Structure 1
């Protein structure tokens, strides 16, 4: 089974946000040497905890500092932008890292609606054009012509080259699954976003409706899954306390940077929070490399997946790097 990485440039309490961007680049270099298949970065706006706001810029830095690993977006929130501009940005990335670029796109705003409005004054209606934007994007990336009646017919996305980025549809609902199936695109489900809710039906729908395309003959799907491994189980669960506290606060509308384990554990849990933590821990892929590996293999077997994309939040960057090292060894990545 292949393992890949999704990094969200998480803001850490007590540290400047710009450090998180540089840490993402450092992690990409590290995972390049460990044998991970892909390294994806996300897009969020106006978010105090997830500060990767410009994946195309971040990927340019990663492209010139890695040599083997595929790099890509998970994803570009297409309704914020012109499809032509996104095609141009990713054609530039393809020139920097030929044959290594993935362009994952999504329909969600990756922000609150007020921020989405600031990014695109027509944000409230932009999502309605998403299927059309996706087809425009594919045409400009491939260098194929738009339909005769299209107002932008005849426009070319530069720079041209022999290859093009691999297109992925991202989602956490049935909508993306159906669109990916209709277009014959690979599909990535954000399993970590809601602890797997809706993952099974979305994947089943994608596989049932899939129509082969020139670029993909059979359905290709993956899940983006949270996982955290450490040298011993106690260390892993202590590190996970940061994400637990962040999730509890988010559920109550309190967003902020990822707290340290010390900060998280210093705040006693009330009765409702204790029940939430119990639910979070029940299926969490947290522990030693073997324990985490067993859970990831069981998930992959259950849904017949040959690749998982690992999301890891930890307040200590060294511990996060260690987690990826341990999982690379557990799965025999090379």
Structure 2
């Protein structure tokens, strides 16, 4: 099973957003050295919690300082953009890092409605065109033919070359699973969005409805899981306080920068929120490297996932780096 990384460039208390981006660049080099297969970057806009607003730019920067690890978007929120322009961007990335580029796309806005409107004045209708955008994007990135009656059939996304980005459909609902199955593309479920709610159903829909394509002859699915490892369970629990609090107060309607573990302890919670936090802690993939890896393996076996993508965030960069190192060792990536 392939093990990969999703880095959302999480914002942290006491750290400027631009520094969070530089930490992403630094972590990518470490994860390549640890043996991870892919390094994916997310797209969020006008966020107080996540600094990564332009995954294609980060991919180019990381490509310049790595040589083996695959680089990808998880994902490009396609309804914000012209499919042709996205195709050109990823053809350029493919020229920079031949054979190493993943193009993960999603339909969700990755932003509030007002921000989505700022990105695309036609945002209210753009999501309806998502399947057609996926078709066009797949054709333009791979050099395949568009339908005869397509108004832009003769356009070519440059620079062309011997490799094409590997397209993925990303999602957290049955819609994305059905679309990936229809186009015969790899599918990745955002397990960490809702602690896995709906994951089993979506992945089963994907597998049963999958249609073989020119790029994939059988279903290939992954899951993105929030996981954290430390040298001891006590240390892991300490750093997890920040994530546990953010997840607990999410229903309040705000997505905030990660507080330090000490700051997280000072936040007053309602009785309902205290119960919610205990549930979050009980379900979390948090512990020593081997213990966390064992639980992740069991989850992948249960869901029949072909790939596992790990995302994590704590307020100390070196601690986060060590988590990825411990998990890589527990999964035997060095071997």
Same fold by TM-score, threshold 0.5 exceeded?
A: yes
> Which whole-Å CA distance do the structure 1 matches of 2:236 and 2:9 have between them?
20
Q: 1:142 maps to which residue?
A: 142
The question of 1:211 aligning with 2:203 is answered no
> Which whole-Å CA distance do the structure 2 matches of 1:225 and 1:12 have between them?
20
Q: 2:156 maps to which residue?
A: 156
The question of 1:111 aligning with 2:105 is answered no
- Post-superposition offset of 1:264: 0.3
The question of 1:76 aligning with 2:76 is answered yes
Q: 1:281 maps to which residue?
A: 281
Contact 2:249-2:273 at 8 Å conserved across structures: no
> Which whole-Å CA distance do the structure 2 matches of 1:221 and 1:137 have between them?
20
**1:260-303 deviation line (CA, Å, top 9, x unaligned):** 11100122433112101111012210011122011101101111
**1:81-125 deviation line (CA, Å, top 9, x unaligned):** 000000000000001111011000000000011100000000000
The question of 1:318 aligning with 2:318 is answered yes
> Which whole-Å CA distance do the structure 1 matches of 2:167 and 2:279 have between them?
35
**1:193-243 deviation line (CA, Å, top 9, x unaligned):** 010000000000000000000110110000000100000111111101001
With normalisation by structure 1, the TM-score equals 0.98
The question of 1:306 aligning with 2:321 is answered no
Q: Which range moved further: 249-258 or 279-288?
A: 249-258
Q: Secondary structure at the match of 1:286?
A: strand
The question of 1:231 aligning with 2:213 is answered no
Q: Secondary structure at the match of 2:249?
A: helix
Q: Which runs of 5+ in 1 are unaligned?
A: none
Q: Which portions of structure 1, spanning 4 or more consecutive aligned residues, are displaced by more than 6 angstroms?
A: none
With normalisation by structure 2, the TM-score equals 0.98
> Which whole-Å CA distance do the structure 1 matches of 2:17 and 2:80 have between them?
23
> Which whole-Å CA distance do the structure 2 matches of 1:255 and 1:153 have between them?
42
Cα RMSD for the two superposed structures: 0.9
Q: Secondary structure at the match of 2:154?
A: coil
Q: Which runs of 5+ in 2 are unaligned?
A: none
> Which whole-Å CA distance do the structure 2 matches of 1:331 and 1:142 have between them?
33
